[in-house]
Amino acid sequence: MSLRAGDARQAIAPMLCAVGGELPEGDDWTFEPKYDGIRVIAYATPGQVLLLTRNGNDKSRQFPELVEALMALSKRRERPLVLDGEVVALDAGEIARFGQLQSRMHVTDSARIRTHAGQESAAFIAFDLLLHGDTSLLNESWVKRRALLEKVMGDADAAGVLRLAETDADGQAMIERAREAGWEGTIAKRITAPYRPGRRSSDWLKLKLENTQEFVVGGWTEPRRSRKHLGALLLGYYAADGKLDYAGHTGTGFDRAGLADMERRLRRLGRKTSPFRTEPKTNEAAHWVTPKVVVQVRFNEWTRNGTLRQPVFIGVREDKDAKA
């Protein structure tokens, strides 16, 4: 199996979820937690690992402990493996929120990477097996892929660096667990379905419990008083006609390092005109940017005039494409 990033991206793109409403009923569904991390396709051989995001960015350098564990797994199984899963942050061994990955996912300095790996734990949660040696499993049902995944993972890592995604045929029980644990939601999967690379399929349904969404940054405002770097992000989303509609602004959820990092990202993308369909009115001077930065935002609800109520910045989504 080639581990050149370009070849790997062309081979398998991640299957995507459709947005679900009601909990699907019937014996042909299973339910998993919606993990709050970085979705990656892991390409593993005994000597090399790629962790490719939806955009084709390789995150293996940022998570050396996961690379080591996946190489060891491939070596034990004596074959290359391709796994679909999520890189998540850990807090005292428990799965944490996406924001706790922020300090690790963009670091490129080797010394800092080692420091973060030693101080801020992460894990890879596998929820699908796409290639087992030379055998493609894409056309097999979820049931068959899951059974083989469980055999492959086994007791993959006693320290919890590699984990197997939970699954439950009782959707209501999984929903209740999600509410108790504070998860973002659950994923419903049709157990007879094949893996559909790069396609958004109703065989996988995203059932969200809280309002979180990715938005594109179209600009930022000047900070007030003693605040540094920037005041608020000006958020948008692409409508069906390809135009960027304004969704609101948020300046909460940042720490000092996050504000500085965001300012650096946005200044590189500066432009003279607003990228939004209709230029929003702002209380402070606005700086416009080419809309390439994607951020995850938590909010209370959509208002009647189509903007967000009480939006809070969670983190930058380098793994998401601005126009996806």
User: pLDDT tens digits, residue range 40-55?
Assistant: 999 999 999 999 999 8
Q: How many helices (H) and strands (E) does the chain have?
A: 7, 20
What residues are annotated to the active site?
Answer: 34
pLDDT at 10 over 80: no
Which carries the bigger pLDDT value, residue 82 or residue 300?
82
- Please enumerate in sequence order all residues whose Cβ is within 8 A of that of 267, keeping only pairs 6 or more positions apart, or say none: none
Rounded to the nearest 5°, which phi and psi values hold at 82? -125, 120
Kindly report the backbone phi and psi dihedral angles of residue 79, in degrees, each rounded to the nearest multiple of 5, phi listed first: -170, 155
Q: How far apart are CA 250 and CA 233, in angstroms?
A: 5
Q: Could you report the per-residue pLDDT of 210-243, keeping only the tens digit for each?
A: 778 999 999 999 998 888 999 999 999 999 899 9
Q: Which two tokens stand for residue 74?
A: 């491939």
Query: Please, how many CA atoms are within 13 Å of residue 230, restricted to the half-sphere of its CB?
Result: 28
Q: Assign 20 a pLDDT band (cuts: 50, 70, 90).
A: confident
Residue 145: in which H helix or E strand, if any?
helix 142-153
Residue 5, pLDDT above cutoff 50: no
CB within 8 Å of 80: residues ≥ 6 apart: 1, 43, 44, 45, 74, 131, 133
- Please name each of the domains of the chain with its CATH number: 5-208 (3.30.470.30), 212-316 (2.40.50.140)
Bridge partners (DSSP) of residue 296 are: 214, 315
Dump pLDDT digits (tens) for 142-163.
Answer: 999 999 999 999 866 545 899 9
> Shortest CA distance to 169 belongs to which of 321, 26, 318, 324?
26
Q: What letters, b where the CB count within 10 A reaches 16 and e where it falls short, cover 217-228?
A: bbbbbebeeeee
β-bridge partners, 19: 206
Please tell me the pTM assigned to this model: 0.70
